[in-house]
Amino acid sequence: MRVAFISDLHASLDALDAVLSDIAQRGVERVVCLGDIVDLGPEPSSTLERLQQLQIPCIRGNHDTLDEHPPIQRLAEVEDWTRDQLGAAQLAWLDALPVEHLEDLDGLRVLCVHASPRSVGDQVLADTPLETLDAWWGDRQFDVMVCGHTHVPLLRRLNEQLVVNVGSVGQPFRWAFSGGPPPAVLPWSEYAIVGHVAGRVSVEHCRIPFDLEAFTRALRASTFPGGDAWLEQWARRAPRP
């Protein structure tokens, strides 16, 4: 059995559709979304609708609450704009999403969270201390944990457990953002496939081209605030500070 896990769509419908098409071509029939469906992108309503139409199980990310109150004015304006694009039923749907989900892959327990079992805002990184992760895990029992949030893919083994960050569909970062200038956004979309067949566990990180021209058209066709400044993140290739 194989399941595709997607995360951090950030209201990019073209990127979502391209990823779903790639998943179908690989013969994977089940998809689970790990949150951050909306915010920071030009098509929040249609992106949410696509997930609903396809009945894709979803959990809630930190941006899906739309109450982050970010200190950066540009991000606050985008959050307000996103809220205005969604109807009452869509906002209620987001609010009702669970914060975690346990997926059973033929006996393999896959814990689905946005960031960590403790919080939708934690960053599970390659160098996060094991003691910290143990505290975040609490008493949850799982074989594999899949997450997003950092926009950076990761595969890490912790004793007998695997941690898989699936990357971002809508805005893959060059590095995990922890303050300072926003990271450059890379020109592709990312997701991961976890498989369990005859006792063998597989993890495949997938990357497909991101159609920046389609994203630019969607951005400029909308009233998304500060669109040109937003596009600079795709153009920037500055080294990490």
Res 127: pLDDT: 93
For 106-144, write each residue's pLDDT tens digit: 999 999 999 999 999 999 999 999 999 989 998 899 999
Whole-structure pTM over 0.85, yes or no? yes
pLDDT above 60 for 237: no
Rg from Cα positions in the chain? 17
**DSSP SS3 for 103:** strand
Q: Is 181 exposed, middle or buried (0-12, 13-18, 19+ CB in 10 A)?
A: exposed
Res 229: pLDDT: 76
- Segments making up each domain of the chain, as ranges: 2-235
Q: Which CATH architecture has domain 2-235?
A: 4-Layer Sandwich (3.60)
**Helix or strand (DSSP H, E) at 218:** helix 212-221
Return all residues near 151 (Cβ < 8 A) that are at least 6 apart.
8, 167, 168, 171, 172, 173, 176, 177, 183
